[in-house]
Structure 1
Amino acid sequence: MAEQSSSRIFTGSRVLGYVSTHVPFVARYIKRRGETLLCTSVGKWFHTYGCEKFRLLTVSGEHPGPITCLSGDNYHVYTASENNIYAWRRGCELKHVYKGHNAPIHLLLPFAVHLISIDEDNVLKIFDIKDESEFLELIFEKKQFKITTLCHPPTYLNKILLGSQQGKLQLWNVRTSKLIHTFSKWNSAVTVLEPAPAVDVVAVALANGKIYLHNLRYDQTVVDFTHEWGKISCLSFRLDGVPMMVTGSTAGHIVMWDLEERRVLSQIQSAHSSRIAGLQCLMSEPLMVTNSQDNSLKLWIFDMPDGGARLLRIREGHSLPPTLVRHCEPTGENLLAAGSDRSLHIMNTITETFNKSMGKASYDRKKSKKKKRLQVDRFALPPIKKLSSCIQRDKQWDSIASIHENKALVTTWSFHKICMGDHKLKPEDLEKGTKATCLIVTHCGNFVIIGYSNGSVHRFNMQSGIHRGNYGSQEMPAHKGAVRGVETDLCNQRVITAGADDTLKFWYFKTATTPYRVIRLEETVSMTKCHRESSLLALANEDFSITLVDIDTISIVRKFEGHTGVINDIDFDSQSRWLISTAMDCTICTWDIPSAQLVDIFSVQRPCTSLSISPTGDFLATTHVGELGVFLWANRLLYEKIFLKPIDRNVVDIPVLRLPTTAPEKPDIEDIGVLDLGDEPEYKSPEQLSAELITLSNQSTSRWLNLLHLDVVKKRNKPKTPITVPKSAPFFLPTIPSLELEFDLDKEKNSSNDTKLLMPDELTTLTVFGKKLVDCDSEDSYRECIDKLKTFAPATIEVEVTSMAPDAGGSVEVMDKFLIMLNIMLTSNRDFELAQSYLSLFLKTHTKIISENEQLRKTLVSVEETVTRAWTKLENQLLYNICVVKTLKDM
């Protein structure tokens, strides 16, 4: 079997949920737009957001490695990746590449027409921005002066200030390459240098929490502050006339300092859940932007009574890798993603502007918000492990239910209100130490059924949260072991439970004392997935196999084997034709249910932890180990013609695909429209598989369906204004009536033929098709007429049939020939629907003439016998197939 080089069905589309990393952002005011643009790193790419509405504007090209630092000026955005620096215009156009460093770069500073960069080998280089040439190189000894930060003091021409890990500062003149002065008053590492709005003053933040406002001209400290909320990671001054300094810490807190009264003005506790990477106050506006490695970008406004800031806008994703993803709407536009950060997010596949965070799970949301300063939230719930949703009644009550790690408590969430619900579902008599293991929200959205580790199954009302009974009894629970899966059918008539006791039990939804059917399974079930519309239930087993059960007939119909690791998730497509599964062996498999074959398999670099295919079948969403985003894979069958064939996993080399990036991959222009079908040639169906089978034509229905109602169509499509005829035409050539422009060249061909007819051909009233039909004397010649007739438009076919009447310029002979042609079409069992449509039009138009002519009546009798035989054959085949299907369904 030929090797497989890529996935046959899925191709990488893009990733959702990436906003920011540990790299500080860049803010650039664009005068033409009248807006500040924010650039954040997301690994090998950087995003550009508009500050006005926080919309994602552009995504840069891919870098060879992760971006280590960002900077920008009025013209370019500068990014450092590995040992090179890249200059971008408009957020996506690469303009310059600066090479010369031998180590990764961690500091960048645009300096007029030059660019200053410092790498991890403590080498400072200055490049000319336009020429990409190296202007200056300075090498510092790490033991004496290891550079940690730098800045350019305003009004200091050609000078930069360097901070070191040894606690010293050096002022350099980059034009003359001379050290001007060394500041050595501190014994702690310098973490941040930021020029103050006052001339000659620079803020110096140290690793010991001290902040000094130092005057460079006189080498004196103006004022000092002590920061007690973690190490300072970033610092900025308000630039709208308010004497305020803002600092961000490694613990995620923000502190605002009053520079006139020299005290703490306000603070924002837990502004980010991780280290604040970048903080900057915008020019002439009471706004502040922060980003963090917790994958968030926030805009704050200073309008609080105490002079503090409040959150104005936010773009955020999961701060820890998501482990669960599910589609929650019939349109497939929104995803529910839950991760290790205890939060639940709504992600939109159309635009990330609609992404929302539903918050973190808590025993008491109000008390969690009122926790004391720097106090750990003791009301927080563990991460969500499983969830189920139904938005049928979403605007009336909660529509999502979730299970938390090692907890018996089940929480509810509201998709409409975008927040956690008020209900905490838990049976009163539940044993201590029991955990919830699985759940399902019914198709109507009124109930949630929960399975527990002690084998019990309970039902709750989603609207009120009231317990509505259990399946089994307290003495005899539903299963002897933990419940591994619970499902309901489309009409809420049955409940299906699978347990660790290797049994699959079927219960009536209302009378839940004993199951009405029990199936003993050969393998232990780890999870279940039901496709309610087709009544198919998939069981993921602990022996890495998948069993498919028909819940209508209560029988096992399929079994798929091929995974070599623990199955993490399974899902059906909307038409229940495919079953998609993923396991810890890093593979994602697509199984064709009707043929019971593996039709697609590919591997990823990191194991897939959860997957969900959209109800419309256009995207497959996956989450992966160690990745913060939700990855979308496009279904190629929606826009490409692909032939799927069975795959033998033991023979085919499994392709390893890279995960989708933040922007869709753009193919080369030469590759557009080329179908990669592998070594398998494209299958072309013959015109007729067998002469005994009745075959339809490949004509569209518009070519034959309305032949009997053309008068109605013409009346409806009649133009309101009369058609204007051109005054004169330079010349014209005789054409043949058809859908394509064809010239009538038969006259030129036959002009030299001798004829004994008294009336020349030019004076005959038969059409070109009628003449060709009269000349037919064999089946092949009739077949040529049939092919010609198939190219005509419906209106042209009507004209041809009407003109066959003797009083319209035709003759009985051409009408007889037309009936013979239809008889040949029906006898060959080809173009069945066309023959029926042409015959109906002919009988409707020439009923009176046929009834008066004996020759036409005889020919019509032959046609009638042929039609009867064809219809009898077709009816017998249809009835036979219906009987077979009904018999198989009743088995």
Structure 2
Amino acid sequence: MSGGGSSLFSGFRVLGLYSNHVPHALRYHKKHREFYLVTAVGKCFHAYNVNRLGIVAISNSLSDDITCVTADRMLVFTAAGRLISAFARNKEVVMRYHGHKQEVHLLLPLGDQLISADSGGDVIVWDVQGGDIYLRLQFDLNTFEVSAMMHPSTYLNKVLLGSSQGALQLWNIKTSKLLFTFPGWSSGVTVLQQSPAVDVVGIGTAAGRIIIHNIRMDETLMSFTQDWGPVNSLAFRTDGPPIVASGSPQGHIAFWDLERRQLVTQQRHAHSTAVAGATFLHGEPLLVTNGADNAIKVWIFDQEGGGARLLRSRQGHSAPPTTIHHHGSDGKNILSAGQDGTLQSFSIVHERFNKNLGHGSINKRKEQKKKKGLLYEELRLPSITAFSSADARQSDWDGIVACHRGRPAATTWNYQRCTMGIHHLQPPSPCRDAIAMAVDITSCGNFVVIGSSTGRLDVYNLQSGQHRGCYGDDDKAHSGSVRGVATDTLNQLTTSVGSDWLLKFWRFKTRKQEEQLELNAAPASLMLHRDSGMLALALDDFTLLVVDIETRRVVRKFAGHHGNINDMTFSPDGRWLVTAAMDCTIRTWDIPSGCLVDCFLVSMAPVGVSMSPTGDFLATAHVDSLGIYLWTNKSLCGPVGLRPLPADYLPTVETLPGVKADESEKEVTSEEAEDAYRSADQLGAELVTLSLQPESRWKSLLHLDDIKKRNKPVAPPAAPAAAPFFLPTLPGLTPRFTLPTASEEETQSKVLSWGSLSQSSEFSSALESALESRSFDRPVSLLKDCGPAALSVELTCLTSEEGGASHLLLAFILMIDSMLASGRDFELAHAYLALFLKVHLRSLSQDAVAMAALLRLSSRLEARWAELRTSFDQSLCLISYTKSALL
């Protein structure tokens, strides 16, 4: 049976993705007076403000991974495969440029043009606004393969191209002429960068040379050589000191003094991988760098001797995470251990709350001493395979214990100090082949139980790090390796599983075995929900068992996965068990009913899963992905119908959060189009919408007599002084002038005819027309333009005694009825109706047709008010409940 996507979870966002190997782009916003950083992350890009490194925008996703990114004052340009896209407001694609036959790897914005180069030797100059090809240059890859591009400052319509063969060419893109060819320096050009001085260009080569060259005189001013391989990036400092920074594939950055022509300082291990891009902020002592290690860093130059220090950074895992768990009871922080050997904490609230607990080391003191000698790599511990955390006593001592790949000792970590702890937990008589495999911290935070590959199950005190005992006879709890361990809430019971196909129950204090269950297959891991006492076991035959630790019996058995079960987690109430397996499915099992209630596929196999203690988010980690993906729990936002899924259910693929592709192909050429939100005319059938008119337009309608009496002048009006000229105006709230025509002035007579006296107003005419067409938008808009006094006159003139007709009264009632039926102009409809009844109630009582219409209108009023009163009562109840909960 084929099914749809997940009915329980929907993608929300991704955590821990900041940068990749694509060099960043820096842009300055004149209105905000702030620098913004643009980095590529897979198929989309992120925009950060440099002041706080807070993410301000995430672009819509493209079909392929972004290979190049650049920006000008208005747009961000990206290259993905052979397609070039222009983004407005850091979000949406407003133009696509088709024309390249090979993958685009270089982009250069130049005024109203965009220059791009692909791997096939084509260089195209585009018209940014129209998307047309202005110029196409074709180069022979054997003689001149374009590897770098730059626009020399003050050189109008000129572009300097560098090649992997070493030569440089200066082109005029307006006349498509080659102006000059520089022979080069016998090494491929990797970087071209404009210096603060006119005509002077910085050139980086594949041999590690940095050449400062005057292109007008064709003269090399100076050159430097870095010992770390090719020059990946160049950046000139513009706030005073003549410094140029060069990045290397090893992650080091060198700073060269252009006056003294020597190396000033170096920043080793600025990134753990190659420095993808480096840029100095204009007029500021700040350097922005990014690398393929998923890090963005801002360096400030305030050290003695011209050195730099790290001012702020955003850094995720440089290798995919393997184990994730929520830390704390608020569900706002996720601990993640990655293949890069680091332990990090990601906040779902804001990136500034992220923590990097660092890389484990064999001897922390020796590492600090040997850092200067670059020998600390030998002291680093391998990646973490399993860890457990508790926040009960984390302010007193270490609250995290981790097992490392191939290591017999477990390490402790301190969450509050963001560093590795002081203890290495190892048995008193360690075995050479013993490896720590499973770990669990007690709910009180005082003890930790660690299982090893030799079958040992040891207890340690977290405060002192002392060994407190071992489970089992002959210091062996299992005849095979321990696959999982868990302790209950009250420290009464310890459960463990091993490769000997046994589930054992131990007394925590006496460490004596109470009971054991023989399993049908070797267990891979276990997970205990302490509040409900339900123990979940993942077996090697892809099945799941749920054991009640009170009765020591298997209460549920689930089968359905077609691959190894990598991780599992319980919902906070213990009702659901969420599992992730190598078959790329994430399944949710309902324990009370024993049924599969939700299942969906993901594009990459999940290796870790963790449900928030508050139940609002599900976090997943995947193979070959550096991020942690959050999924919202739909059941917290509204009713979700969960039904048992059949055994042959075929789930569909859910797109990972944060990488949803934008399927819209609409192209908007206007750069200044505003993404303005426009509210609907009517919000809903059960709601009403106000007219947004000033209160004076409708509140004073029922008190016109009192207002006229109060405003009655005491003295008779005096004749106005003679004015040199006057312009007659039309009545209404908006001043409008009118001029009589010459024919009207000539034929004007003081004797008024009866036709002129009985002439109807514009409102009356519109109301009479609406009675036939049943569309009352025109008379309603005319009434909105009238003030209280003019509106009173219009309503008074609806009767035949005042020049109107009796059918106009019926038309007015039908107009009010249409306003109430549409739900719009709610307060105006009631105010108009109240004044209408006050003026014409005596006449209406003698008209049977009008009274019937009024009765229908009255029933509509009562029904509408009943709906609104129900909504008001529900809202007031919710507010009262929230207040009582807060108090």
TM-score (norm 2): 0.74
Q: By how many angstroms is 1:299 displaced?
A: 0.2
The one-letter code of the counterpart of 2:101 is: N
**Partner residue of 2:653?**
656
SS in 1 for 2:645: coil
**Partner residue of 2:392?**
392
- Paired with 1:365 and 1:172, the residues of 2 have a C-alpha distance of 56
Q: What are the ranges of 5 or more consecutive residues in structure 1 without an aligned counterpart?
A: 673-725, 734-741, 743-750, 752-788, 797-891
* Corresponding residue to 1:647 among 626, 645, 648: 645
- Paired with 2:869 and 2:76, the residues of 1 have a C-alpha distance of 61
**Partner residue of 1:452?**
452
The answer (yes or no) to whether the contact 1:189–1:206 under 8 Å persists in 2 is yes
- Paired with 2:621 and 2:594, the residues of 1 have a C-alpha distance of 26
The one-letter code of the counterpart of 2:84 is: I
- Paired with 1:605 and 1:335, the residues of 2 have a C-alpha distance of 22
The answer (yes or no) to whether the contact 1:538–1:547 under 8 Å persists in 2 is yes
- Paired with 1:153 and 1:23, the residues of 2 have a C-alpha distance of 23
- Paired with 2:868 and 2:200, the residues of 1 have a C-alpha distance of 86
**Partner residue of 1:146?**
145
> What does the per-residue CA deviation read over 1:746-793, in whole Å, with 9 as the maximum and x for residues that have no partner?
xxxxx9xxxxxxxxxxxxxxxxxxxxxxxxxxxxxxxxxxxxx99999
The one-letter code of the counterpart of 1:253 is: H
> What does the per-residue CA deviation read over 1:681-740, in whole Å, with 9 as the maximum and x for residues that have no partner?
xxxxxxxxxxxxxxxxxxxxxxxxxxxxxxxxxxxxxxxxxxxxx989999x9xxxxxxx
Q: By how many angstroms is 1:664 displaced?
A: 11
Deviates more, 1:125-134 or 1:288-297: 125-134
SS in 2 for 1:39: strand
- Paired with 1:792 and 1:148, the residues of 2 have a C-alpha distance of 70
**Partner residue of 1:824?**
none
- Paired with 1:663 and 1:464, the residues of 2 have a C-alpha distance of 49
SS in 2 for 1:621: strand
The one-letter code of the counterpart of 2:658 is: T
Q: By how many angstroms is 1:183 displaced?
A: 0.8
**Partner residue of 1:561?**
559
**Partner residue of 2:633?**
635
Q: By how many angstroms is 1:430 displaced?
A: 1.5
Q: By how many angstroms is 1:452 displaced?
A: 1.0
Cα separation, partners in 2 of 1:386 and 1:727, compared to 1, 3 Å? same
> What does the per-residue CA deviation read over 1:48-71, in whole Å, with 9 as the maximum and x for residues that have no partner?
101111100011111121111111
The answer (yes or no) to whether the contact 1:13–1:665 under 8 Å persists in 2 is no
- Paired with 1:476 and 1:396, the residues of 2 have a C-alpha distance of 31
Cα separation, partners in 2 of 1:666 and 1:160, compared to 1, 3 Å? closer
**Partner residue of 1:313?**
312
Cα separation, partners in 2 of 1:664 and 1:551, compared to 1, 3 Å? farther
- Paired with 1:422 and 1:517, the residues of 2 have a C-alpha distance of 36
- Residue 607 of structure 2 corresponds to residue 619 of structure 1: no
- Paired with 2:471 and 2:629, the residues of 1 have a C-alpha distance of 38
Q: How does 1:43-82 map to 2 (within 5 A)?
A: 43-82=42-81
**Partner residue of 1:600?**
598
The answer (yes or no) to whether the contact 2:77–2:84 under 8 Å persists in 1 is yes
- Residue 534 of structure 2 corresponds to residue 536 of structure 1: yes
SS in 2 for 1:648: coil
Q: What are the ranges of 5 or more consecutive residues in structure 2 without an aligned counterpart?
A: 666-676, 681-701, 706-791, 796-812, 814-829, 831-844, 846-865, 874-887
Q: By how many angstroms is 1:665 displaced?
A: 9.1
Q: By how many angstroms is 1:146 displaced?
A: 0.4
- Residue 262 of structure 2 corresponds to residue 280 of structure 1: no
The answer (yes or no) to whether the contact 1:13–1:664 under 8 Å persists in 2 is no
> What does the per-residue CA deviation read over 1:562-587, in whole Å, with 9 as the maximum and x for residues that have no partner?
11211111111111111111211111
**Partner residue of 1:162?**
161
> What does the per-residue CA deviation read over 1:280-306, in whole Å, with 9 as the maximum and x for residues that have no partner?
111000000000011100000011112
Deviates more, 1:633-642 or 1:342-351: 633-642
**Partner residue of 1:99?**
98
Deviates more, 1:359-368 or 1:183-192: 359-368
Q: How does 1:446-525 map to 2 (within 5 A)?
A: 446-473=446-473, 475-512=474-511, 514-525=512-523
Query: Aligned-residue CA RMSD in angstroms?
Result: 3.0
- Paired with 1:174 and 1:7, the residues of 2 have a C-alpha distance of 53
Q: How does 1:164-183 map to 2 (within 5 A)?
A: 164-183=163-182
Deviates more, 1:346-355 or 1:456-465: 346-355
Cα separation, partners in 2 of 1:408 and 1:216, compared to 1, 3 Å? same
Q: How does 1:326-405 map to 2 (within 5 A)?
A: 326-369=325-368, 370-375=370-375, 377-405=377-405
SS in 2 for 1:367: helix
The answer (yes or no) to whether the contact 1:412–1:420 under 8 Å persists in 2 is yes
SS in 1 for 2:379: coil
The answer (yes or no) to whether the contact 1:13–1:663 under 8 Å persists in 2 is no
**Partner residue of 2:239?**
240
**Partner residue of 1:708?**
none
- Paired with 1:356 and 1:88, the residues of 2 have a C-alpha distance of 32
The answer (yes or no) to whether the contact 2:433–2:454 under 8 Å persists in 1 is no
The one-letter code of the counterpart of 1:20 is: S
> What does the per-residue CA deviation read over 1:210-238, in whole Å, with 9 as the maximum and x for residues that have no partner?
22111212222111111102221001110
**Partner residue of 2:863?**
none
- Paired with 1:641 and 1:110, the residues of 2 have a C-alpha distance of 51
- Residue 95 of structure 2 corresponds to residue 88 of structure 1: no
The one-letter code of the counterpart of 1:658 is: T
> What does the per-residue CA deviation read over 1:412-463, in whole Å, with 9 as the maximum and x for residues that have no partner?
1112222211111111212111001101000011111101111111111111
**Partner residue of 1:863?**
none
SS in 2 for 1:49: strand
- Paired with 1:165 and 1:664, the residues of 2 have a C-alpha distance of 35
TM-score (norm 1): 0.74
The one-letter code of the counterpart of 1:398 is: D
- Paired with 1:309 and 1:212, the residues of 2 have a C-alpha distance of 23
- Residue 180 of structure 2 corresponds to residue 205 of structure 1: no
The answer (yes or no) to whether the contact 1:390–1:399 under 8 Å persists in 2 is yes
Cα separation, partners in 2 of 1:614 and 1:665, compared to 1, 3 Å? farther
The answer (yes or no) to whether the contact 2:207–2:229 under 8 Å persists in 1 is no
SS in 1 for 2:608: strand
Runs (4+) of structure 1 moved beyond 6 Å? 663-670, 726-731, 789-793
The answer (yes or no) to whether the contact 1:269–1:373 under 8 Å persists in 2 is no
**Partner residue of 1:431?**
431
**Partner residue of 2:15?**
16
Cα separation, partners in 2 of 1:93 and 1:526, compared to 1, 3 Å? closer
* Corresponding residue to 1:552 among 535, 543, 550: 550
The one-letter code of the counterpart of 1:504 is: L
The answer (yes or no) to whether the contact 2:62–2:662 under 8 Å persists in 1 is no
- Paired with 1:7 and 1:448, the residues of 2 have a C-alpha distance of 37
SS in 1 for 2:352: helix
The answer (yes or no) to whether the contact 1:486–1:497 under 8 Å persists in 2 is yes
- Paired with 2:662 and 2:538, the residues of 1 have a C-alpha distance of 34
Aligned residue pair count? 689
The one-letter code of the counterpart of 1:132 is: G
The answer (yes or no) to whether the contact 1:269–1:374 under 8 Å persists in 2 is no
Q: By how many angstroms is 1:527 displaced?
A: 0.6
> What does the per-residue CA deviation read over 1:100-146, in whole Å, with 9 as the maximum and x for residues that have no partner?
22222111111122111111111111112222221111111111100
The one-letter code of the counterpart of 2:570 is: F
Q: By how many angstroms is 1:367 displaced?
A: 3.3
**Partner residue of 1:873?**
none
Q: By how many angstroms is 1:18 displaced?
A: 0.6
The answer (yes or no) to whether the contact 2:62–2:661 under 8 Å persists in 1 is no
Q: By how many angstroms is 1:495 displaced?
A: 1.0
The one-letter code of the counterpart of 2:643 is: K
The one-letter code of the counterpart of 1:386 is: A
- Paired with 2:661 and 2:347, the residues of 1 have a C-alpha distance of 16
The answer (yes or no) to whether the contact 1:578–1:590 under 8 Å persists in 2 is yes
Cα separation, partners in 2 of 1:518 and 1:160, compared to 1, 3 Å? same
